[in-house]
Structures are given as C-alpha cells and as structure tokens.
Chain A
Amino acid sequence: MTTNILPLLPIMIPFFAGIIMLFMGKRPVWHRVVSGISGLLMMLSAVWLVISIYRNGTIVTFLGDWMAPFGISIVIDMAAALLLLTTTIIAFLIVVYSFQSIGIEREKYFYYPMVLFMIAGVNGAFSTGDIFNMFVFFEVFLLASYVLITMGGTRVQLQEGFKYLLVNLISSNFFVLGLAYLYSVTGSLNMADIYLKLEDYDGNMVIMTVLAVVFLFVFATKAGLFPLFFWLPGSYYAPPMPIIALFGALLTKVGVYAIARTYSLFFIENQAFTHQVLLLMALLTIIMGSIGALAYTDMKKIIIYNILIAVGIIIVGFSLMDETGTIGAIYYLIHDMIIKAALFMLVGFIIYRTGESDTGRLGGLIRSHPVTGWMFLVAGFALAGVPPLSGFYGKLFIVQSAFGNDLYIAGLIVLLSSLAVLISVVRIFMNVFWRESPAAGGLRAIKSDKLLFSSIGLVIISVAFGLAADLLYPLFEMAALSFHDPATYAGYLTEVE
C-alpha cells in the first residue's frame, strides 16, 4: 500500500502555493493570481473528496507508508470532508473579496501567503487522524493567524494581537501538557487507536476525566466557550474585515471540531460529568453571546457576539452525543461557517462604502444598494434560523434532541437565542438600510464588484444549502455517524488487522 496523495491535496495546494508566493517576492498581482487559482483547485479537490467518501466511505492515508497506529494517518470521514469543502469555498471567496478590500500595502507584505498557510493548517486540523499532528496543524494556522491579526501594524491591531497571541500561546502549552498525559495513559497518539484502547480497558478511568477538563480548557479557549471567550470580542475587532471574516468563519470552528472529536473518541467513560460540563458551558456561552449581541450598536461587535451564540448552539448539539443532536450540530456548523463569512463580508462592504461601523451614524442605504440590503436581510434571517433557510435545520435537530433527552431548559435557551439573533441582526438592517440618513456624509467611491460577488455569492450558497437540506441529508447522516458511533471512525484500524 502506498501513500494516496489525493486526500492530502487540500493541505498541500495552499501550502505549496504559499511557498511559491513567498519566492515571488512583493508582486501583489501575481499573488492574487496564484491564490485565486489555488483556491479553485482546493475547492475542486474538496468536492472530489466529498463525492468519493460518499461512494466508498472514509478515506485513510498512511503518511510515509507507516501503518497506523505507528505513523501519522490522515483520516477524512464525511464530517471532515464537508468541513474541508466549506473551508475551501469560504477561503476562495474571501481571497477574491480581499482583492479590492485589504489594500495594496498588506498585499505587498505577504497577505495571501499567510491566508493560504492558515487554510493549510485549518484543513490539516480537520483531516488528521493523529492527535499530536492535530496540535502541529493548530500551531500552523495559529502562527499564520498571529501574523494576519497584527499585519499592517495599526495600534489597535498590535495591542489586541498581543493579547490574542498570549492567550493562544498559553492554551497551546496546555494542549502539549494534555497530550503528554494522554500519551502516558494510553501509549498511543492515533485517535482511533486511543478510542479502541480506552474501550477495551475496564480499570480506573478517573484520569480520563481530568484529561477531559484539560482538553476542554484548551479547545474552549480556541473556540470561545463561556468562561474563556474573554479574548474573542476584542481581538476579532482589531484586524481588517476580510481577516475578521476568515477568523470568525473558520478559527473558532476548528476548536469546536476538536471538542467534538475528542469528546466523541476519548472521553466516553464518564459522560455524566464531562458532557454535562460541556452542555452547561455551551448554554452560558449562548446567554453571554446574546447579551453582547443585544448590547452593542457597532455592527462588527454585534456579528462577533453572534459567533459566540453559534458556537454555543453547536456545542449543545455535540454535548448531547446522540444521532439527532450530532446531525443538527454538523448542519449548524456548516451553516454557520458560510453565513458568518457572508455577514462579515456584507458588513465589511457597508463599512468600506460608508467609512462608518456604528449603526447609530448610518441610514438610508437601501436607496443606493437595494440588492445588498435585501441580501443582508436574507442572511440575517438565515442566521436566526427562519424556516426555509439554512439555520433552521440545525436548530430543529438540536432542539428536538434536547427535548428528547428531557433537557427542556437547554432547548428553550437555544430557541430563545434565535430571538436575540433576529433582533440584533434586524436592528442592524433597520438602522443601516431603512431610516433616513442622519448625517449625509456621502458614500465613498470604491470598486466593489468583487466585494459584492463574494458576499452575495456566499448568501446564495447559504440559501441553496437551506433549500437543498433535504437532498443533502444522507451526507449529514453519514457525517454524524463518526461522532455518535465512534466505532465507525475507528473502523479502519480494525479492518486492517
């Protein structure tokens, strides 16, 4: 058996494209061409992965032909493939969006290579089957994100970027510590192998509960769960809009994915404690996010707090760990990645056009931008989960599963959070698009065809995803299988023997 190179393409394409761009030097136009082409190629490879996994099941590759559990294996199941596809679509559209919005200075100083390195890290974290390798890919995308968040060197970026770096540095160190404990307990780093070993072991498992808390600390910091989200609103506010869109759509979701993976594969023994803690943190996150989203009048801040609400809802779905809950969580995960990127890009367009991000000082934009305005409303409705749109299905399954498990308060909080989301987004819409412009500051003349192409394109993808949800159900059923029935994820190890 040789190493199959095709499942590695979503990692390799952005990585090599980034290196090629570094060698090109400061040639922004060439960087645009290379990053656009590699974005398209990534998307094609991810589509290919989804189709072939739908036909043949999980794809496994052993790097360097070292058989699992000894070497590093790349394991792409349906959940990972769907996340890869969403990541690559968003990455491509954000790269296109950046052509007209990030500014020539940042483009000269290697903005596109950093974006692609980050995408390589994110894709790697989604597709790896080895927990230490996941740590390495976390560091890859975090290092690129440190550069992106401080790129340009404005004062607010430096100040918030330093805090972001420090928080992530500490949680990464705890990741290594957790890995050390995990290795000393199980003697393995392959995630499927760890699952099989833990399942066969009937001794004292108290140490695994301690480990669950260490890993929860690490991933909750990255994902922005309740007590550990403090860094998120400040840090995500600082960089320019395309970078915020990239961070808001992708980075927290990697943390969520890592929580789902580890809590389905490793911490299966003491679910009464670990998954309850997870559920409680998720609900508190939803509440805090709702308070933030309702409290601010700044558009960026409102959408940033909406990230917290979404992360909370997804984690509620994963903490239930039954079939409906996980299907709902994956639906909502994919939906939220798409719609957050779309909303950030639309907000970015408004900010670039008017030079203003506070809703109190805007108004009357519907006259000059009717299509964008209605698209924003559609995106807002999708975010809140109004039925035919994509947010509805995820929430439906999650609430159904919560009520099925007699967790009425959890279900109720998820439902009520939709109201908070709806109020916060529609308030942006009403203030920015409807009422009379308070101070006629005039619109800035900017080139905006690519900005609108990306943002409206993503809204349309989200609407299509909502309308085709029924059609896509088999994919999501397959994706949820490896979470609520982790034995299927570990199946490739048992088959080999």
Chain B
Amino acid sequence: MELITIILSGILIGSSVYMMLSKSIIRIIIGTALLSHGVHLMLLTMGRLKQGNVPVLDPEVSSYTDPLPQALILTAIVIAFALTSYILVLALRMYRELGTDNVEEMKGVPHDD
C-alpha cells in the first residue's frame, strides 16, 4: 500500500515538474497545485497506512492510525488552497497588465507608461 502511494506521489511530482517547465502561466499554476498534491500524499504515507484502523481515541479500539500526519495535511492543504487561489488572481491581473501569459516575455524591468 505504501509503495503504491509513494509511486503515485512520484508520478504527481514528476508531472508537476513537466507542467512547471512550460511557458504558459496557467500550466505553471496547475503544476504547483499538482506538486502540493504529491507532497501531501507523501506526508500521508509517512504516517504509515493501515487499513481498517481509526485515528480516533476510543477505549474499545486497540490499534490506531497515527492522527498527526492527517492533521498536518489538513493544515498544509488549507495553505496550498490559499496560495493557489492567490496565484490565480495574480495571474489574471498579470495577463491584463502585461498583456501576455508567456513567461518568456517577462524579462528585464518593464516601465510603466
């Protein structure tokens, strides 16, 4: 089970690198979103995946799943969500101001006129 999720997160991170190496802003943003998914999956795997166990303290349950990685992922997902929404707004504004979504054309110091 762990092996599958690790391979999956590897695929996610690999495809995110592919997306981030392209020139279009939107593709780059999708790449960052994929990167955060891959990383979160990795974080989940690091707490050991046990099927059928609960992460809740209950006197009748003897075998637990580690709840901490899940709590950490929740935090990290919220942060990644906020960042993705901000970067999307920024991309829209950039497209309007700079008139391009190609990062190749964003070099040097542009001057306001």
Contact = CB atoms under 8 A, between A and B. Distances in A.
Interface in A145-162: 146-147, 150, 153-156, 158-159, 161-162
Contacts of A143: 79, 82-83, 86
A189 interface: yes
Given A179-B43, A180-B42, A184-B46, A155 B32 contact: no
Nearest to B44: A180
Interface in A120-144: 132, 135-136, 139, 143
Interface string B37-75: 001101101110000000000000000000011001001
Chain B CB count within 10 A is highest, among A169, A179, A181, for: A169
B94 A139 contact: no
A165 B90 contact: yes
Contacts of A176: 36, 39-40, 43, 76
A357 to B, nearest CB: 11
A173 interface: yes
B87 A158 contact: no
A176 B40 CA distance: 8
B23 interface: no
Interface residues of A, number: 33
B86 A237 contact: no
B1 interface: no
B72 A132 contact: yes
A179 B40 CA distance: 11
A472 interface: no
B28 interface: yes
B8 to A, nearest CB: 14
Interface in A169-196: 169-170, 172-174, 176-177, 179-181, 183-184, 189
Contact of A156 (B32, B83, B109): B109
A419 interface: no
Interface in B73-113: 75-76, 79, 82-83, 86-87, 90-91, 93-94, 97-98, 106, 109-112
B19 interface: no
A180 B68 CA distance: 11
Contacts of A173: 32, 35-36, 39
A155 B47 contact: no
The residue in A159, A179, A180 that gathers the most chain B C-beta atoms within 10 A of its C-beta is A180
Contacts of A162: 25, 87, 90-91, 94, 106
A163 B32 CA distance: 13
A468 interface: no
Contacts of B97: 153, 155, 158
A172 B106 CA distance: 23
Contact of B90 (A139, A150, A154): A150
A115 to B, nearest CB: 17
B94 A177 contact: no
A183 B87 contact: no
Given A155-B110, A155-B112, A162-B94, A136 B28 contact: no
Contacts of B46: 180-181, 183-184
A139 B112 CA distance: 31
A166 B90 contact: no
A434 B53 CA distance: 75
Contacts of B109: 156, 237
A36 to B, nearest CB: 28
Contact of B39 (A153, A155, A177, A189): A177
A146 B86 contact: yes
A136 B74 CA distance: 12
Nearest to A184: B46
Nearest to B28: A166
Nearest to A70: B68
A183 B68 contact: yes
Contacts of B45: 180
- For B32, B36, B79, B98, the residue with the greatest tally of chain A CB atoms inside 10 Å of its CB is B79
Contacts of A163: 106
A135 B43 CA distance: 14
Nearest to B79: A139
Contacts of B69: 180, 183
Nearest to A181: B46
Given A170-B32, A183-B47, A159 B94 contact: yes
A170 B32 CA distance: 7
Contacts of A166: 20, 28, 32, 87
Contact of A169 (B68, B83, B91, B94): B83
A161 B98 CA distance: 13
Contact of B87 (A136, A165, A189): A165
Contacts of A237: 109
Contacts of B110: 155-156, 159
A189 B36 contact: no
22 contacts: A132-B72, A143-B83, A146-B90, A150-B90, A155-B97, A155-B111, A155-B112, A158-B94, A162-B87, A162-B94, A166-B32, A170-B32, A173-B32, A176-B39, A177-B39, A177-B42, A179-B43, A180-B42, A180-B45, A181-B46, A183-B43, A184-B47
Interface of A: 132, 135-136, 139, 143, 146-147, 150, 153-156, 158-159, 161-163, 165-166, 169-170, 172-174, 176-177, 179-181, 183-184, 189, 237
Given A162-B91, A163-B106, A189-B68, 18 more contacts: A143-B82, A143-B83, A143-B86, A156-B110, A156-B111, A158-B97, A161-B90, A162-B25, A162-B87, A165-B90, A166-B87, A169-B87, A172-B79, A176-B36, A180-B39, A180-B42, A180-B45, A181-B46
